[in-house]
Structure formats: C-alpha cells, structure tokens
Amino acid sequence: MSETSTLARARSSFLLGPARDYLGIAVLGVALWLLLVETNAFYSSVLAAILIWTIATSGLNIIAGLGGYPSLVQGAFYGIGAYGSAIAMKWGQPFWAACIEAIVAAGFLGLVIGLVFSRTRGQYFAIGTMFTGLAVALVLNNWRSLTNGQLGITVEFGFGDMDQLNVAIPAATALILMLVRFVSRRRLGWRLQTILEDEDLAEHIGVPTARTKLTGFVLSACIGAVAGILIAQYNGTISPDLFDYYVGFVMFVALSVGGAGRVLGPLLGSAFIVGLPDLLNLSSGIGLLVAGLIFVLTIIIIPGGFMSAIDTVLAAATRTVMRR
C-alpha cells in the first residue's frame, strides 16, 4: 500500500508535471530538428517521413486514442491536406492561405463524415470510415481535371528554402504533440475518455457524446491535413498512391503499436511502422509484412502498445530504486 502511494507521488512529481511535459516535448522538438539537419540526406528523409506520420497519427490519436473510435479514414484527411494545398497554390493562392484552405476542407469533410458515422459504433464505424477512405482515393484517381489522375501533380514550394521546411517539420510535430497533450487534459479529452470507457454511461451522466465525438473527429481531420501539407511540400510531387485507402489503416496500426491515447505513442508507432522498413532498406512487400507481424504481435502481447511496455519497465525500475 505504502509502496504504491510512494510510487504515485514519485511519478507525479518528476514525470507528470504539466510544465515538464511541455518542456520535454519542446526539447524533443529541438533534438529532432538537430537530428534532421545534421544527419545525411538518407537518414534525414527517413526522419522527416516519420515526423510527418507522427503528426497525422497524432490527429488520429484524438478520436481513436482518446475516444476509442477506430477511424480508418485518417489517410484521406492526409490526402486532402496534400492535394488541397497543392491545388490552391496552383490556383494562385499564397502558401499560408492554401494551408488554411486545405485544413478547412479536411475539417469540413471530417464534419460531414462525423455527422453520418457518429450514429455507428465499433466495427460499423471501422467499416464505414474505411469505405470513406476508399471513396476519397477513388476521387483522387479519377477526377483527372483536378488531380491529374495517377500521374499526380507537382507542388509549388511554399517555404523560403529547404532549411525553413526542415525547421517547420519538427516544429509542427512538437506543437501537435503539445496540442494532443493539452486536449487530453482538458474537457474535450476527459469527455472522449469517458466515451472510450463506456459510451452509454457517459451519456447518462450528461456528457454530450455526439458533440464531443464530432469535435474530436474534426480536430483529427484538421491535424491530418497539416501532415498532408507538409508531405506535399517535402516531396515536391504527390500522387494518389500516397493516400490510398489502406494508408488510413496503416496509420491506425502505427497508433495502436505505439500506444493509443498516449501523447508519444504516435511517434514511437510511426518510427516502427514507417522508419524501420526504410532503415532496414526492406522492399515494400517485406516492410509491410514485418509491420503487420509486429503489429499483430504487439496487439496480442502488449495491448497498450509500446508506451505501456515502457511504463511497465519504468515502474519496475522505480520500484527497485525505491526499495534500495
């Protein structure tokens, strides 16, 4: 008994203080920036891909991680961010306006999808959102006058130079992680977590479940679009296969492997799902095969993802230290 309370106090003093969390994320952001500019071109590109995926997956973390709704449509918001910003710039908009328009477009689609599918739960929600992802992928492939079909389009560079983009990516990652940390300890986050625990009960005790889910979903969509804008800028060209419908579920995979509902879960998950195959230089088939295996094993063995495994190890270590 006394051991657990000592443990809890120890954790709250040096692991869970809010200022410390934000400071930690900021330091992490600076470290990631240094890593991004100091390593060679290959590692740098892998890291950039991981960070952009971290942003997209962090968006998913709000509705799926905090709220427990298995959304498989995050890849579509990612795609709308990329295509939306690229097309808006093609139409002569300045970069900042194009970004806002892309984020608003994704948010609006999120609102519509949320309105329809918030009537469903669990498996139905997964199937419905997956189909929405497929619908968006089909439109990107077939609306040739707008998206140039499978050939894709080139993206106008919106930043001053590559250095600015290299700052923007880790900065955006850190800001989004802070946003998730912020939301998770605010009313929206608590409400989403009560929905995760028991939606009927949440409804009974007065949580406005429909509105909460909708807000969470729109926020997820907007963050997904931010990642899309960055990948379009980083790649210089975009094509529909980057945003195919299965991308949404690979993002869900990354989130579950890293730790759903945990602020750093998306970073860990993206590092494993996106970074590992690239670093090991695996062909796409073996990469996805390994990702799938890691994923199934993680879900079966550590249901809370890597973050919960780290917690277990830390708690055990703290206990050993306390005992001495």
Q: Judged by CB under 8 A, does residue 295 bind other proteins?
A: yes
Which of 25, 98, 130, 307 contacts other proteins by CB under 8 A? 130
The SS3 of residue 153 is strand
Nearer residue to other proteins within complex by CB, 30 or 296: 296
The reply on whether position 303 binds other proteins by CB under 8 A is yes
Judged by CB under 8 A, does residue 193 bind other proteins? Answer: no
* One character per residue 81-120, x = contact with other proteins (rule: CB under 8 A): -----------------------------------xx-xx
The reply to whether 13 sits near other proteins by the rule CB under 8 A is: no
Q: How many CA atoms lie within 13 A of 238 on its CB side?
A: 29
Which residues are paired to 153 by β-bridges? 238
* 279 interacts with other proteins by CB under 8 A: no
Strand partners, 237: 154
How far is it, in rounded angstroms, from Cα 40 to Cα 43? 6
Q: For residue 68, which amino acid is it? A: G
Burial 248-277 (b: 16+ CB within 10 A, else e): bbbbbbbbbbbbbbbbbbbbbbbbbbbbbb
Q: Which stretch binds other proteins (CB under 8 A): 18-26, 41-49, 228-236, 248-256?
A: 248-256
Amino acid of residue 136: V
CB of 88 to other proteins, least distance (A): 24
The separation between the first and the last C-alpha atoms of the chain, rounded to the nearest angstrom, is 17
**Is 49 in contact with 274 (CB distance < 8 Å)?**
yes
Residue from 30, 280, 289, 316 binding other proteins (CB under 8 A): 289
When asked if residue 146 is in the footprint of other proteins (CB under 8 A), the reply is no
Contact window for other proteins (CB under 8 A) among 77-85, 156-164, 174-182, 249-257: 249-257
Q: Is 201 in the site for other proteins (CB under 8 A)?
A: no
Measured CA to CA in angstroms, residue 149 lies from 84, 139, 204, 304 at distances of 15, 9, 48, 39
What residues line the site for other proteins (CB under 8 A)?
68, 70, 72, 116-117, 119-124, 126-128, 130-132, 134-135, 138, 141-142, 246, 249-250, 252-253, 256, 284-286, 288-289, 291-293, 295-296, 299-300, 303
